[in-house]
Structure 1
């Protein structure tokens, strides 16, 4: 009987927490409605593999981190190649299709909209970049399926996974150290 009561208490607690989380989401969306951005190909400018300008607003794709534009990677033989430029080109191909839409619930410290973007075909740009091997998933911010897409690309040795690379956050940190020390 005690086991049944304990199970009931655990389930009731979980239901309460789920209810509170749902209520918080409703309040957040009511007080801070999502920013919706949409643009045609002429109104989209790709900055790098995870940032773009949509109708004049700078957007950072949520849940992923791509190599910086100036970042190089090493292939299986150790030769450097411009992975940052290739990541940018991959995002440009995805974002240039008509009917791009982005939904943002927050801004980052650089005042960019952090958003989930889809093209007219319904393709989630971040998920596609991860699946093609042009980015790493940011587990804390990733949507369902993002980490699996990264794992698939890693296993198939696509994009940045075909050799060695510095994680974009590590590369950025090293560049900041180099500038300060120079």
Structure 2
């Protein structure tokens, strides 16, 4: 006699599903626990304050108020420097590129040293807004760049704390105010 052939398989026993369901439950539970202990600043939120720093080889002057620190860009908080190509006039009426002068002044203040910045917020272009200082080196102590640039006369104060420095620079004829120079056209109504 020939054995009977079965066309249909018997239904799996309920125990066969326990293994995969148990593994799926363990994976979901583990993911939940990891998620609870994970970072709280996801999806574009950032901490209110960050410390950014770069060594001398990683610091580049973008313009009179902006630095590139390796792969990050920071704008000096509380001041407004002229853009490159922005024309100022000296007391004789001759035009000069006060934006380039401001960038050169910032470069001189850096003096080939590294920079440390306390970044709080971002500007309308997404740059970090920072209070920056040069790192102390063997030849010089650290210098606060925001105030030094305003004090040297190469930027206008947007912050009340820097207003006195701007007034002193104007009175002494430093930077943009040297030899009776006037502010760039775009600033005429502000200051």
Q: Does the alignment pair 1:111 with 2:111?
A: no
| 1:132 match | 152
**Structure with higher helix content:** 1
Q: Residue 76 and residue 87 in structure 1: after superposition, are their counterparts in 2 closer, same or farther (change >3 A)?
A: same
SS in 2 for 1:98: coil
Matches of 2:49 and 2:112, distance apart in 1: 23
Task: Note if 1:155 corresponds to 2:175.
Answer: no
Q: Following TM superposition, by how much is the alpha carbon of 1:87 offset from its aligned partner in structure 2, in angstroms?
A: 0.5
| C-alpha distance in structure 2 between counterparts of 1:124 and 1:167, whole Å | 28
Q: Which ranges of structure 2 fall in alignment gaps of 5 or more residues?
A: 1-45, 136-140
In the other structure, the counterpart of 1:164 is 182
The TM-score with structure 2 as length reference comes to 0.66
Kept in 1, the 8 Å contact 2:48–2:121? The answer is no
- The correspondence of residues 11-90 of structure 1 with structure 2, limited to 5 A, is 32-90=47-105
1:170 deviates by 6.7
- Counterparts of 1:33 and 1:97, CA distance in 2: 29
**Contact (CA 8 Å) 2:89, 2:182: kept in 1 or not?**
yes
Deviations 1:123-153 (A, max 9, x none): 11110110110000003xx5x3x11111110
Does residue 91 of the first structure (1) align with residue 106 of the second (2)? yes
Computing the radius of gyration from Cα coordinates, the structure with the larger value is 2
Distance 1:170 1:108 in 2: 23
Report the equivalent of 1:20. Answer: none
168 and 55 in structure 1: CA distance in 2 versus 1, 3 angstrom threshold: farther
The answer to whether the 8 A contact 2:61-2:107 is kept is yes
Q: 1:168: how far off?
A: 5.3
Bigger relative contact order (CA 8 A; separation at least 6): 1
Instruction: Find the counterpart in structure 2 of residue 18 from structure 1.
Output: none
Task: Give the TM-score taking structure 1 as reference length.
Answer: 0.69
Distance 1:79 1:169, change over 3 A: closer
* Alignment coverage as a number of residue pairs: 137
Q: Deviation per CA, 1:23-44, whole angstroms, max 9, x where unpaired?
A: xxxxxxxx83411111111101
